Amino acid sequence: MADMEAIAREGTNAMPKDSISKTAQVNLNMLTFLGVPEAVAFSKALQLEGNPLVALQALPFAHQLPLCISCISEVLYESANQLILEANNPTILDVACGYSPRVLKMAPRGYTYIGADLPDVIGDLTARRRDILPADEEWIAGYRTVNAADEEQMRNVLGGLREPITVVTQALLPYLSLEEKTIMASSIRELLQRDGGCWIIPDADPDSLMRDTFRAVLGKVATSIVRSVKAIHSKAVGRNRSKMSWRNVNEIEEALANLGFSVRRVPLYREGMELNCLKFAGEEAADKLRTCWQQKNSLVVTAE
């Protein structure tokens, strides 16, 4: 159960409003940079402007940072996609969907896709809905404004839908306080107990994933660069990552077990995963990345 002292230490979600859409834009920009087809199409439809990585431009090795960050974006995105396809539940609820192009990957395959996020992000997505989701397609997809830390909103996020769901949270946990994570997890447990399905968390090792991915690409200099990137990120989102709860797979697993979930670990990278970033990284770095990612975890969480 939530540790009340830790909740008090972390405070509430202090993410400034304009930082929200910038963080939401990072993964889309990175997947587009790598040429992932649905990301290219999604970016074109959404027409977002600005470079969310502009704050990193003064750092050493700045020209290599998009590659490092895109490696993380793509391996998380593809790992989650693979697990969604394996779970094969008819509905996908992408909590904190940001500007993820996942809808363009899953809706054409017959899944019902619901993206949920805060008002700024959903405002952008609904304004461009017609461009993102072609009107003549029979895809079932939609966007809902939801604060993941609001029990009532989470309870109603699926409207009248009652079929097994795959809930995905990709790159959300670091933005939530312990109290918010606990509320969200309890709400997801309620949905899974009602409709069946699972919850996929591809980023169960956020800190070591960043450190080891940067190391594989940049070598020894990575340590100080990762420190600077984290400091810039913490400042931008108003949250000190080093004081966060659920920092690694053991902590997440323990917290979820205490909340009544069963948790299965799956290697973040598995043979046969096709990743564009590995081509950009070059052979030596690609080998290191595969090895590093095989030792990280995605989680498949159930609530029977």
Ligand X SMILES: C[S@@+](CC[C@H](N)C(=O)[O-])C[C@H]1O[C@@H](n2cnc3c(N)ncnc32)[C@H](O)[C@@H]1O
Contact by Cβ (8 Å): 210, 223? no
Q: How many residues does the chain have?
A: 304
Of 76, 73, 81, the residue nearest 33 (C-alpha):
73
Question: Strand 91-95 vs strand 112-117: parallel, antiparallel, or unpaired?
Answer: parallel
Between CA 84 and CA 78 the distance in angstroms is 10
Shortest Cβ 103–ligand X spacing (Å): 11
What is the distance between the alpha carbons of residues 216 and 208, in angstroms, rounded to a whole number?
Answer: 12
- Mark the segment that binds ligand X (CB under 6 A) among 24-32, 191-199, 210-218, 224-232: 24-32
Nearer Cβ to ligand X (13/186): 13
- For residue 300, which of 198, 186, 190, 204 has the smallest C-alpha distance? 198
Note whether 33 binds ligand X by CB under 6 A.
no
The most distant pair of C-alpha atoms in the chain lies apart, rounded to whole Å, by 53
User: Interface with ligand X includes 191 (CB under 6 A)?
Assistant: no
Per CB under 6 A, the segment of 43-51, 143-151, 261-269, 281-289 that binds ligand X is 143-151
* Residue 175 binding ligand X, by CB under 6 A: yes
Q: Does 245 bind ligand X (CB under 6 A)?
A: no
| 118 is a site residue for ligand X (CB under 6 A) | yes
| Beta carbon of residue 50, minimum distance to ligand X (angstroms, whole number) | 15
When asked if residue 173 is in the footprint of ligand X (CB under 6 A), the reply is: no
- Contacts with ligand X by CB under 6 A lie at 13, 20, 23-24, 26-27, 96-98, 100, 117-118, 121, 146-149, 170-172, 175
